[in-house]
Structure 1
Amino acid sequence: MLSRTVLALLLATAAPVLPALANAPPAAQAPHDGALVSTEWLEKNLASPKVRIVEVSVDPGVYERGHIPGASNVSWHTDLVETVTRDIVSPEKFAALAQRLGIDRDTTVVLYGDNNNWFAAWGAWVLAQYGLVDNVKLLDGGRKKWEAEKRPLDTRAPEVAASKFPVTQAASNLRARFGDVLAVAKKERDEQILDIRSPDEFNGKIIAPAGIQELAIRAGHIPGSVNVPWGKAVNADGTLKSPAELKKLYAEAGIDGSKPIITSCRIGERSSHSWFILTRVLGYNARNYDGSWTEYGNAVGVPITNVAGTVWGGK
């Protein structure tokens, strides 16, 4: 596999440059979209000192088998959450992680991963709560597109100079809590809940996708929520559909940005993908409910809607 130094030299000599700059890493360019970077853009900027690449995948060993050159590995279930309490990573633990990754406030952070960037989007949601918003991007198409295009992979973990990222309290305006969604379900708050699970999960025919552990007691959805499965927002190659297509998709379900939105799924990872689209691509006001159905579907004394009537009966 190519080292970052060799790769930088190859990229630097791919086009005419001034002799004094021949060995310098390429400067970061403005991505084609404020929220996304293309595979072409990222390959051109692999060696930029202002770009940090982070993989957040869920399948074991995928990073070690080969990753984008220069990418650091982050585990969503140990690095981005508290491992005992069900919560996002603490301010102190996040600061240590950002320092280890070499991330400063002005660093362009490109996140990518497997499973259509589900957990990379979760990472973007966590980073946003700690003040890293506009400079955090998703690689459009994630690992799927990068590998399909046979772009370079490396098996070595990069050596990264530690940053001095400060301990910062997490913002609360990007995260919905149980009480928030319950207030919407009871029509005490004028917000919209976007459930991005499959139709069978939403309607209550099943509790979880095939092969996934069922972590809720009941099946169904939060009353008043609308269903737009996350996959409808994605092209066959893993890239997101155009902003115009996305606006139309959500508008058909009554989501047009005129009201605050809460995204929800089973454990909050698929819904973070839709949260990213709504907030970063379309500019809507949205929060992610990471408790999602595993919290709401287990709560005592709350209303649910079960169209299928297959679990616990009734509606």
Structure 2
Amino acid sequence: MTDQPFSLSRRGIASLALGGAAVALQARSASAQQAAAPASQALVSTEWLAANLRDPKVRIIEVSVNPGLFERGHIPGATNVSWHRDLVETVRRDIASRDQIQNLLRRAGVTEDSTVVLYGDNNNWFAAWGAWVFDIYGVRDVRLLDGGRRKWEAEGRAVSTRPVQPTASNLTLAAAPNLALRARLTDVVPIAQNQAAEVKLLDIRSPDEYSGRIFAPQGFQELAIRAGHIPGAVNVPWGQAVRPDGTFKSVDELRALYAAVGIDGSKPIVVYCRIGERSSHSWFALKRLLGYQNVRQYDGSWTEYGNAVGVPISNPAGTVWGAT
């Protein structure tokens, strides 16, 4: 089942084209200035972190979504960041502002030469969101703890309940965010209308969400009133990118995984999920581990798109909101 198409005036399409050209130009500029870090510079192992806990240049930040985890025990020296309060705007739906992120990082003791290691629960979903936001604001060296909190605990490594108060820094972030890492609804609609065929759209939700059998996984609060996926999107669930212990698969395995659905980095990629947390994880795999240059996250994701009026939707399962 496909809804009636979202209509755009010629002026609107031209405006989108100009906007897309500007983002592409910015992406090429960013690529010329700094190539994507290889996987060895994007991840740290639990062994590496355990050996570097006392290094003053390593700043550890936990981003867990479940309340109370940090207080019950965290990696020694870590500071706590709340996804709900610190990494997003709490009133309007948006990422945190430059000033918010700059103040957060200053409080965490992050300096220009720090290595920032992010980790958290839920397979690092929200830690990956943090990495995406930090990249947008130009934080120099941001890495994920491979396997996250789950692997650290499974190995019986040290945890602490003692809060830390790092010496505040005077870090200054770049004046302008890197908007080439982010996609908006106005970028995605032309893809759905087949007006931007050169862009690869990747849906990393479960097959049941993608097909429209369900609106969201059981127990999740943020919902759309339409089921299905954005037309033209291919489906690679985020969990296919990790091993049973939560660590990322090898670069060769990841490259083959995405190439199987036609995503090889030769064309621009837009990735989405439900609210942007799971797609942050897949964005990290594509951008930071595989080094594909033009990868954007559509953080509005399905809760924005599936609630928008008049946009085209593919709903193979035919599930209808409110049907009994």
Q: Same fold (TM over 0.5)?
A: yes
Bigger mean CA offset, 49-58 vs 207-216: 207-216
2:204 and 2:235 in contact (8 A); partners too: yes
**Counterpart residue number, 1:127:** 134
**Counterpart residue number, 2:28:** none
Residue 105 of structure 1 and its aligned partner are, at CA, apart by 2.1
Equivalent runs, 1:173-252 vs 2, <5 Å: 173-189=180-196, 190-252=198-260
**Counterpart residue number, 2:8:** none
Q: Does 1:163 pair with 2:172?
A: no
**Counterpart residue number, 1:145:** 151
Distance 1:70 1:214 in 2: 33
1:176 and 1:287 in contact (8 A); partners too: yes
Once the two structures are superposed, what CA deviation does each residue of 1:93-151 show, in whole Å capped at 9, x if it has no partner? Answer: 11111110111222100000000000000000000011015x10000000110000000
**Counterpart residue number, 2:79:** 72
Query: What amino acid sits opposite 1:263 in the alignment?
Result: V
Residue from 29, 38, 48 that aligns with 2:55: 48
Residue 186 of structure 1 and its aligned partner are, at CA, apart by 1.1
Across the two proteins, how many residue pairs are aligned to each other?
282
Distance 2:73 2:114 in 1: 24
Bigger mean CA offset, 265-274 vs 88-97: 88-97
Distance 2:111 2:184 in 1: 29
Gaps of 5+ in 2: 1-37
Distance 1:37 1:97 in 2: 22
- From the two aligned structures, give the one with the greater helix fraction: 2
* Greater Cα radius of gyration, structure 1 or 2: 1
Q: Does 1:286 pair with 2:295?
A: yes
Query: What amino acid sits opposite 1:158 in the alignment?
Result: V
Distance 1:72 1:213 in 2: 27
Distance 1:223 1:197 in 2: 14
Distance 1:32 1:40 in 2: 16
Which has the bigger relative contact order, CA under 8 A and spacing at least 6?
2
Residue from 297, 301, 319 that aligns with 1:310: 319
Distance 2:187 2:39 in 1: 35
Q: Secondary structure at the match of 1:278?
A: helix
Structure 1 runs of 4+ aligned residues shifted over 4 Å read none
Residue 213 of structure 1 and its aligned partner are, at CA, apart by 2.1
Distance 2:79 2:190 in 1: 40
Residue 312 of structure 1 and its aligned partner are, at CA, apart by 5.9
Distance 1:138 1:32 in 2: 10
Gaps of 5+ in 1: 1-30
Query: What amino acid sits opposite 1:264 in the alignment?
Result: Y
Equivalent runs, 1:257-296 vs 2, <5 Å: 257-284=265-292, 285-296=294-305
Query: What amino acid sits opposite 1:152 in the alignment?
Result: A
Distance 1:154 1:68 in 2: 6
Q: Secondary structure at the match of 1:280?
A: helix
TM-score, length-scaled by structure 2:
0.85
Residue from 95, 107, 122 that aligns with 1:100: 107
Cα 1:220–1:277 change in 2 (3 A) is same
Distance 1:312 1:268 in 2: 22
Residue 225 of structure 1 and its aligned partner are, at CA, apart by 0.3
Once the two structures are superposed, what CA deviation does each residue of 1:186-233 show, in whole Å capped at 9, x if it has no partner? Answer: 122220111000000000000100111252010000000000000000
Residue 32 of structure 1 and its aligned partner are, at CA, apart by 7.8
Once the two structures are superposed, what CA deviation does each residue of 1:155-206 show, in whole Å capped at 9, x if it has no partner? Answer: 0111201111225332211000001111111122220111000000000000
TM-score, length-scaled by structure 1:
0.87
1:220 and 1:306 in contact (8 A); partners too: yes
Distance 1:255 1:77 in 2: 32
2:63 and 2:83 in contact (8 A); partners too: yes
Bigger mean CA offset, 264-273 vs 251-260: 251-260
Distance 2:39 2:226 in 1: 43
Provide the identity percentage.
Answer: 66
- Aligned-pair Cα RMSD in Å: 1.4
**Counterpart residue number, 1:24:** none
